[in-house]
Structures are given as C-alpha cells and as structure tokens.
Chain A
C-alpha cells in the first residue's frame, strides 16, 4: 500500500493545482461580482440589478435556445458519421478528423465575415444561423468525444450481434448506440452551452443579439453587474456538469485491466 500512495501523490498534487487554477479566477470573479462599492459591503445587488433588467430572461432564453439547437444539430450530424466510421468506414477516418479540426484552427473572425457574404439572406433574416455556426465551432470537441466514446466498445461486434438477434437499425441506434454515448452527448450539450454563453465574435459580426452581446452592452453601464452575469453563467454550467457527472456511469478504459 505504500507504493500505491506514492504513485497517487503526483496526481493528487496535480489535481489540487489544477483545481486552484480553475477555481481561483472563477471564485475571484464571484467575489468581485458580489461587491457593492456604494454600500461598502458585499451583497447580491449586482445580480439583482441584472435579473431585474428588462431583457434578461429574453436574452438568456435566446442563448439557451441556441445552445440546445446547436447541440441538436451536432448530434444529428455527428452521430451517424461517427457510428459509420466505427462500423466499417474507418478508411475515411483521417479525412473526417482533419475536417473536424478545421474549425478549431481557422480564425473565427474569418468564418464570421465569410458567413455574412456567403449566406447573406439566411444570415440576415434568421437567428438560427447562429445555431449552425456555433455547431461548426463545437465540431472539433464534439467529434472527438463521441469518437473516443464509441471506440471504447467493440461496436461492430455488438451491432452485428444485435442485428443477428433481429433488431432493426432504429432499435440498434436506441438500444445499443445511444446508451454508450449518453455521457458524451451530455458533455457535448454542456460544451455548446458554454460556447453559446461565451460566443461573441460571430454573433456581433453578424449583428445578432444574444445573452453575450447583451451583457457586453450592459457592461458599459455596470461592469460589476456584467461580471456577475458572466460568473453566473459559467458557474451554473459547471454545477450542472458536476451534478450530472455524478450520475453517469463512466465508459470503461480502453486498456482492460489484467485478470488476476
């Protein structure tokens, strides 16, 4: 057991440092947002100010809606693709991986400008365009998590077994595939939420208003309040994530532990 402890020590230290690194800015921002300089105390004034601001619910709703929409788009597009890749289309894996990485490395600015030129009508008239663009931005991560999740099970074998037992493709999808990627689907959802709440470039360049742009505008008049909101949005995503993580069973490690 002595050996076990010394092995875990670096990990524990690393995790502690990482947690500090993550939490410190978040915590500080939280503290900052709770300041009330006029009254020289701490309180929820800033939050209240924002929650009572006329369009708060409206814009929050918009961003949430967009997040959900883009998550849905991602699922519809990626699930069949990743499933197919793992069921026999593996020759094209390299191509798909390359495509999936492009949004990560291509400047978002370029994308935003281009969207305006390339899809002028759609971009001007329908806010849903944002859902699609957010989805594009999330593709790198969503694809990677989904692919890793599906690769951790012997997919081909299971699907063939299910088919052999008489399941049609729909049943296979719901009974075999979805349970496996349930946790990655949720991860993807949280990601799009974080993205939607933080995305500014495309939104502003395409002249739409979401929670983020609204916060930026409001911040001109109340920087504390704006910070309060940012903190609020980030923390809630985190809390949701942690709560759900507790309830999802992790997918097993690729390297199966040795028999003893």
Chain B
C-alpha cells in the first residue's frame, strides 16, 4: 500500500517544482487564446482570460497543499497542547477544556469558517491559521484519551518516583505513546484542510483571485459549465486525487497502529 504515498509525494513535488513544470506563468493573460479547449499547447485548456489552466492547476497546488499541510500542523499542535493539558491535568481543567471541545464540535465547521473569512478577510497565512484553529478538536480528544489511560500506568508512576518532572513524563513517556493516534488524526486534518480551503475559495471567501487555488478556479468555472467544462474538471480532479491519497495514507496509519497494539 505505498501507492497513496507515491501519489501524494508526486503532487507535493509537482507543486514545489511549479516554476519548472508549468509551461506558462499562471497569471499570464493571452486574450488571443481565450476559452480554448484542451490541446497540445494547453493541456487543460485556457480560461476566460486566456490563462493556461494546467499552469494554474500546478501553481494552485502550492496554495491548496500548503493550506492543507500547514493547517493540519496548526490543528495538530493545538490539539496536542489542549488534549495533553486536559488529559494530564485532569479535574476541573479537563472538564472545562472538554466542554470547550464539545462546543467547537457543535458549530458546523464550514459555516463558521465562512463567517470568519468574510469578517476577517484573511491573507493565505491567516487562512491557514483559521482552518487550523477550526480543526484541533479531534486531535485533542485522541490525545486526552491516550494521556488519561496512560497517566496511571506503572511506567509513568515509576518515572515520577525516580524524580522525573511533569515535563519529562509528558515529553518522554506520554507523547511517544500517543504519537500513532496523533499521526492518524493529523493526516485526516490534512484532507479536511484541503477540502475546507477549496470550499471557502469556491464560495469566494477563501483564496482571492488572481492567485490560483483549486477552489477559486472552480468558483470561476461555475458560470461556464456548459461552454467550457474543462475549467471545472481539472481543479476538481486534483482536489479529489489529493484527498483520496491522503485519506488512504490515514487509513493505512490507523491499521498499522491497531495491528501494533494487538
């Protein structure tokens, strides 16, 4: 089951090598070649300004993948911090943090982000932070559960008895045990981040034109589905390819961590 990793690796490599791979500059307007169907010169056709869709898809990959990966990092880091404090601290802190987690989970993620994006008009780095902050809850729950089940374990008690600080217990003993579960939840957060970015941009409140992201390319393609369907097919297919490969990587990680436990 290495195929999803290879696909995802290729996508990341293509995004990184965008200036080399893209035959045209992504924002280069060519009014003589507007709305052209896919051809040898323009693999995925051109849009209403004559921009090359293939080049835009490759450059868009940079934005979409960056939002997916970095927002998952934000979500993972805040999830580990919040879940760790709740699980290790216990008591009232735990109760308060878990209520906050439930509260965040009760708000539909996409509408909340849509409002936040309209209100705050975020640049791409802020968009990454927003998407990340909307996704820490799953990781927090997983980490809290792991910490709570391990807090009373013999090896933790013996480490404490040997004089290890709380910090050392958490970093050296608890976190490594929670790592597998965190990896699964962060992988899922990557797929979710990519989907959220594309949906936000599709509704015109995420990545703003002229910068290309897969979502805002679909936003622009929406009005010309009948005459220029290629504008809608390529960006969507790339979103799907990415989210499928990421979810399959997540499934593999989950299976491995279950297998290790048995």
Q: Answer yes or no: are A and B bound together in one complex.
A: no
Binding site for B on A (CB under 8 A): none
Residues of B within 8 A of A (CB): none
